Chain A
Amino acid sequence: MTGAALTPTVAAMWLFGSFFLLMILRVPVAFALGLACLPVLFIEPRLSPMVVFNTTFKAYNSFILLAVPFFLLTANLMNVGGITDRLVHLSRTMVGNFPGALAQINVLLSVFFAGISGSSTADAASQGKIFIEAQVKEGYDLSFSIAITAVSAVLAVIIPPSILMVVWGGVLQVSIGALYLAGVIPGLLLGLAQMATVHAYAKIRHYPTYPRASLREFGQATLVAIPALMTPFIIVGGILLGWFTATESAAAAVIYAAVLSIFVYRQLNRHQLWEALLETGRLSAVALFCVGTASVFGWLLAYFQIPKALLENVTSWGLGLIGVGFFVAFVFLVVGCFLDAIPAIIIVGTTLQPLVASVGMHPVSFAIIGIVALAFGLVTPPYGMCLMVSCAIAKVRLRYALKDTMIMLVPMLLVLASLIIWPEIPLLLPSLIRPDFLK
């Protein structure tokens, strides 16, 4: 016993009850999480609202989380630096001759972008503007165009660098280098699954194609794009070689992007630099603020031993490694529909951790299952940010593109299932390159 005055059940009812009520009243999630903690902090004699301050301070006083604004700044600098056009051109020389060429380019560009930005909504917003209108002009269905833009954008949080992996690594104390390596193959598999889906659609609906690009054109496009494509290698490579910590690698990427945009591509002026800084601050701070209040919520769950009470039932089912894997994926898929991914990691990730450890699942494979499932939550209603952004750009309601999105999710769910059944898939790269990261 903790000696707490409230039983786990009563405390859980207060915490979750007030959180959901506030969320329905459209109180911002960060505030709803913080406010939901107040009743128990007042009721429980040993606690006081000072917990909110100590815990948020501890959450923000983290060198690891510093990587978050740096990644966003890198992406912003690259964006204004004219990187996107060069990458579109490169993608076109690679997959332009496939059926459904423009949609294939859309997916491939997301893969490239994923290696640079680590932010899915940024990807959905910038690609939505480029592709949705262009695809419709070439005769693609609008709902298909919206859906493929949205589902391909989720790759950004799975292929390194990834903001979700930084948060997961920081909160659950897993090596971020290992998570980066582990994300590569699942990310590429998901990209392939999406390209196969596009291929099937294109065959059935006779979507157009472009003439094959010559090897020379491909070579030229690669040459121009190489400096931008180096970014993930600097970030991941620097960590693997032991040069940088995760945070330092992100800072190195910022400097690299700034040098590239100012001196190599020469498309960044002082005003744009300022805008990039401000936009980075605004976006990252709002999300990071939520890390603090979610941590308070998570701290209280742990204080009242609520995870143990919640999982008592599940433990009695006697699930094996694969069973727990599917359970974890299911929980994150459901939670991802309603909650932003960062608070979901802090609250649900820490809740599930003991269960996962009890069946001997590797922390890295737990992280990958969780992150991939949460990434799918970015395109599932009612709270799929990427789908919402794509629909907003096309000026249609979310329901409009739902059917095609769900069809595209099926092969992606199969990839997730295979990651659960064969945990070796995500663990392959880290075990080959840096086995010491896996401990």
Chain B
Amino acid sequence: MRKFIDGYYRVLNVLLASSVGILVLPVTIQMISRLTGLIPAWIWTEELARFLFIWMVMLGAMVGVRDATHFEVDVWPVLKFRANAMLNIVSMVFVLVFALVFVWYGIKFVQFGWNQSSELADLPMTYIFIAWPLTGFTWLLFGFERLMRDIRRVVNGPLPGEDQPPTRDLGKGSLI
């Protein structure tokens, strides 16, 4: 299972980095065509860029649950190891609830888009809407992995190779 999650995580990372890189292309094509007229002003570039962007956001949101980079506000004093792990469990349960909502209603969302296609490029909207339930599934996967680890921390104390409770990597979750 661990291997599967690792592999899946790596695939998501590759897709994420690629989406950022490819995102530059349609916008550049749009600029070149308008400024130079060397290539025709394809109307789908703008839509393609937006759809790729949606996928980038959702991929990043998936990866963020495993990396624990989703931005959180810590109003607690420095907690003891077990208390900290316990609080992690509580907050993760809520994340998992949101993940279930994304799966359950996300599937409805996809069904709703079944017969729709996009305005400009005539893409089936399913290709876009599917990102929501997929995000939900991925959160469940990554979330349970972290949940199990925190449960083991509460039961057995620090995991092997972990003398301190993992502190958050500051600044990782925010780009402002």
Contacts and interface: CB of A to CB of B under 8 A. Distances in A.
A382 B94 contact: no
A248 B174 contact: no
Contacts, number: 208
B170 A388 contact: yes
Contacts of A57: 54, 128-129, 132
Given A255-B24, A277-B20, A340-B176, 12 more contacts: A26-B73, A28-B71, A57-B54, A57-B128, A60-B57, A73-B20, A119-B175, A277-B17, A278-B16, A281-B60, A287-B174, A382-B75
B46 interface: yes
Given A66-B53, A287-B176, A292-B57, A26 B76 contact: yes
A345 B56 CA distance: 22
A389 B94 contact: no
A247 interface: yes
B31 A282 contact: no
B147 interface: no
Contacts of B28: 251, 255
B63 interface: yes
Interface of B: 13, 16-21, 23-24, 27-28, 30-31, 35, 46, 49-51, 53-54, 56-61, 63-64, 67, 69-76, 87-88, 90-91, 94-95, 97-98, 101, 105-106, 108-109, 112, 128-129, 132, 170-176
Contacts of B174: 121, 283, 287, 340, 385
Nearest to A254: B24
A34 B24 contact: no
B87 A25 contact: yes
A282 B67 contact: yes
B24 A251 contact: yes
Given A50-B105, A251-B28, A285 B56 contact: yes
Interface string A132-176: 000000000000000000000000010000011000000000000
Interface string A338-352: 111110000000000
A124 B73 contact: no
Contact of B94 (A27, A66, A288, A340): A27
Contacts of A4: none
